[in-house]
Structure 1
Amino acid sequence: MRRLLLALPFALLPLAAAQAHSDHDHDHDHGTLGAHEHGVARLNVVLDGNTLELELDSPAMNLVGFEHAATSDADKAKVAAARKQLEEPLKLFGLAAAAGCQEENQELESPLFGDQPSAKDDDGDDEHGHDHEHEHGHSEIHAHYQLACATPGKLTQVDLTPLFKAFPQTQKINVQLIGPNGQKGLETTPAKAVVGF
């Protein structure tokens, strides 16, 4: 199923190019779906048969309030709390109970999760080509979830309200979605947090 999300950036490249803009002047690429921008996260949603995949990429600032290595006890506690929340996707993403979605697999990656093994090559890029800690001190948090839905036809939307409430520094989530009705890209905010398939 990993192939679904790997193909997503290519399938949605025209949408991403139309939305690509940044408040920062960086001379390097941060990936296909836009640059590192505080307050803004990216979410890929793929529903294929009974499999729902969710892939969230966010600046650490949105989720823990900072991007430097956690050295103080207070910072370590913030990282641990955010990680604990991220480990419970069914509490972060509002899915119709009738769809019967259950988590099958998850991956959480960030330089802030010091004990987290991640597949990195010699350049500091992970297997997806993301460079999670840049020379500017930016840290990203990447979460990938795979869920099995017993009745996927009942899954008509994903409500991001719980995610916005859990991480209030996230002001906007750019969503790229592929489902039974095709593909689309849209921008969500705490006031407009429901994404329909």
Structure 2
Amino acid sequence: MRRLLLALPFALLPMAMAHAAEVEHASLGAHEHGVARLDVALDGRSLEFELDSPSMNIVGFEHDASTGEDKATVAKARELLLKSQALFNLPLAAKCAVTTQKLQSPLFGDTPEADNDHDDDNHAPDNGEASEEHHHSEIHAHYVFVCDAPSELKRLDLSQIFKTFPGTHKIQVQLIAPNGQYGTEATPDNATLKF
């Protein structure tokens, strides 16, 4: 019985770690203007990026693009997000070619996921004015590359993201690479990470 009791914490460890990961993911998923999240995984020749950002960081607003100027801004941002090779500043020596690019956002005409966190969202404001208090628009980008020379991926330079989208002030990065897994924060002044 004593051995069973001593083994119990180790048996429960995977569940505790999974719960901690969910809590961490939820806390990093909070909508904060100026802050984006980037998950990067390098596995063999496959290099994958998942970028999540408030649309405020990318286009400068979160409302639906109704004016010609807003629509042009959204179209330009979409075009820049699809230039993934330049956006992630991948070294030419790594010989990476994009195989998948997918962008999602209500601004691009995608249907937003149901938000069950705000029970009051369906109620009209008392003063008769339209409320945008709970209206948060996100942009999600997913990229997959195949790299013929992945050993040439020694650093990840995110400076082009900061230059292209100056509303982005920091990026919370989770990186999984052959040398291990770690989390860090990139800023315009500290935009280079080691693989």
1:108 maps to which of 103, 107, 122: 103
The answer for the alignment partner of 2:89 in structure 1 is 94
Given residue 136 of structure 1, which amino acid in structure 2 is its aligned partner? Answer: H
- Give, as a single letter, the amino acid of the residue that structure 2 aligns with 1:188: A
* DSSP 3-state at the match of 1:76: helix
For 2:21, give the aligned amino acid.
Answer: L
In structure 2, the residue matched to 1:136 is 134
Q: Does 1:35 align with 2:33?
A: no
> Superposed, which structure 2 residues align to 1:1-197 within 5 Å?
13=21, 17=24, 31=26, 33-114=28-109, 116=110, 123=114, 136-197=134-195
Q: Structure 1 residue runs of 4+, over 2 Å off? A: 10-14, 30-34
| Cα gap change, 1:110 to 1:80, in 2 (>3 Å) | same
Give the stretch that moved more between structures: 88-97 or 44-53. 88-97
Please give the secondary structure, in 2, of the residue aligned with 1:112.
helix
Aligned-partner Cα distance in 1 for 2:27–2:181: 16
**Amino acid of the structure 1 residue aligned with 2:46:** T
What is the aligned-residue identity percentage?
A: 54
Aligned to 1:131: none
CA radius of gyration, larger in? 2
In structure 1, C-alpha distance between the alignment counterparts of 2:50 and 2:36, rounded to whole Å? 11
Q: Compute the TM-score of the two structures, normalised by the length of structure 1.
A: 0.76
**Which amino acid counterpart does residue 89 of structure 1 have in structure 2?**
S
TM-score normalised by length of structure 2: 0.77
Aligned-pair CA distance for 1:31? 3.7
Report the 3-state secondary structure (helix = DSSP H, G, I; strand = E; otherwise coil) of the residue aligned with 2:62: coil
Deviation of 1:11 after TM superposition, in Å, equals: 10
In structure 2, how many angstroms separate the alpha carbons of the residues matched to 1:158 and 1:184?
13
Q: Tell me, what secondary structure is at the counterpart of 1:84?
A: helix
Deviation readout 1:131-155 (Å, 9 max, x if unpaired):
xxx9711000000000000010111
1:107-163 CA deviation, whole Å, 9 max, x = no partner?
A: 10000001x5x7x77x369xxxxxxxx971100000000000001011111100111
Residue identity matched to 1:85: L
Q: What is the CA–CA distance in structure 1 between the aligned matches of 2:133 and 2:43, rounded to whole Å?
A: 37
| Change beyond 3 A, Cα 1:62–1:33 | same
SS of 2:108's equivalent in the other structure is coil
**2:101 is paired with a residue of what secondary structure?**
strand
Unpaired runs of at least 5, structure 1:
1-9, 18-29, 126-133
2:38 aligned counterpart, secondary structure:
strand
